[in-house]
Amino acid sequence: MDFKQILTNLFTWITEFAMSFGLKLLAALAVLLIGFKITKLIIKLIVKSKGFHRIDAGAQTFIKSFLNIVLKALVILTAASILGVPMTNFVAAIGSIGLAIGLAMQGSLSNVAGGLMILIFHPFRIGDFITANGVSGSVKEITILYTVLDTPDNVRIVVPNGELSNATVQNYSVNDTRRCDVDFGVGYGSDMKLVIKILTDLVNSHELVLKDKDIFVKIGSFDESQITVKVRAWVNASDYWTLYFDLLEKGKELFDANGIEIPFPQLDVHLDK
């Protein structure tokens, strides 16, 4: 076989390969490009639908993330079948890869399960202010893997769902009212009847205190340098911190006006000659 014949055979093989596999490759690429665009359009239409907006806000972001992954996986499987990849072998390979990835990403899988638990049992919702695992913030988003919080000083915190689903969560927004607890320290020489009267009148006169609930103003403990008086009053949850800081500020002003000492830590030393 001369060189010319070799070139002719090579050209024929390339032409046949391009006509068969090349067309399949172009079709597969077209399926990927069009499929991803259709996926994006489908998700956009679902998100805009009225039924979707009736779902809990936390579930919306979770469903959106889940649909995006599932639909893109279907597009990739369709493109692979066009290329002639046997689906049985392909599925088996995906299963093996999935097992290996699952073992390597146990934490991520626990986050997915944690996200489902959060959406099912609703320990918190979008907009709630929570504390969990030493972090506090308003819930902004619940995705398939993590929950996004914004702190009061506007710092964004991303917490894995697996940790949140297993943590003790304090939800400050779920109830309409809260009890505001404030401790006041006064000197041992203070007139305690006057102290309790001042604080009782202060709480009763404050416009944010809920008058249909009992207040509590009593001596709480005898500490090393002070007598601690505990004040308990009920308030709407949204007014909690306003009342808390108002009681501290006005309490100090009333103590000063009535000559009541707020002591600082001190130590008495006795010298033996």
**Cα–Cα nearest to 108, from 144, 81, 138:** 144
114-171 sits in which CATH class?
Answer: mainly beta
Place of tokens 């172009």: 26
Q: State the burial class of residue 120 (Cβ atoms within 10 Å of its Cβ: 0-12, 13-18, 19+).
A: exposed
CATH number for the 177-257 domain, one of 3.90.1170.50, 3.30.70.100, 3.30.465.10, 3.40.50.300? 3.30.70.100
Q: What is the mean pLDDT of the chain?
A: 83
Walk across the sheet containing 135-142 and list its strands: 156-160, 146-150, 135-142, 129-132, 170-171
Comma-separated ranges of CATH 1.10.287.1260 domains in the chain: 16-104
Report the CATH architecture of 16-104. Orthogonal Bundle (1.10)
Band of pLDDT at residue 136, cut at 50, 70 and 90: very high
Spatial distance between the Cα atoms of 201 and 64, rounded to a whole number of angstroms: 54
- Measured CA to CA, the distance from residue 97 to residue 164 in angstroms comes to 28
Q: Are 133 and 168 in contact (CB under 8 A)?
A: no
Residue intervals of the chain classified under CATH 3.30.70.100 are 177-257
pLDDT digits (tens, 9 = 90+) for 10-54: 666 656 655 666 667 777 788 888 888 888 888 888 878 877 777
Residue from 188, 211, 186 nearest 199 by CA: 186
| Phi, psi torsion values for 150, nearest 5 degrees | -115, 125
Q: Residue 228 has which token pair? A: 């601690």
User: What is the location of CATH 2.30.30.60 in the chain?
Assistant: 114-171
* DSSP three-state, residue 180: strand
Strands (E) located in the chain: 129-132, 135-142, 146-150, 156-160, 170-171, 177-186, 216-222, 227-236
Q: pLDDT for 152-177, tens place per residue?
A: 999 999 999 988 888 899 999 999 99
10: number of CA atoms within 13 Å, CB side? 7
Across the range 105-121, mean pLDDT stands at 76
Q: Name the band, by pLDDT with cuts 50, 70 and 90, for residue 104.
A: very low
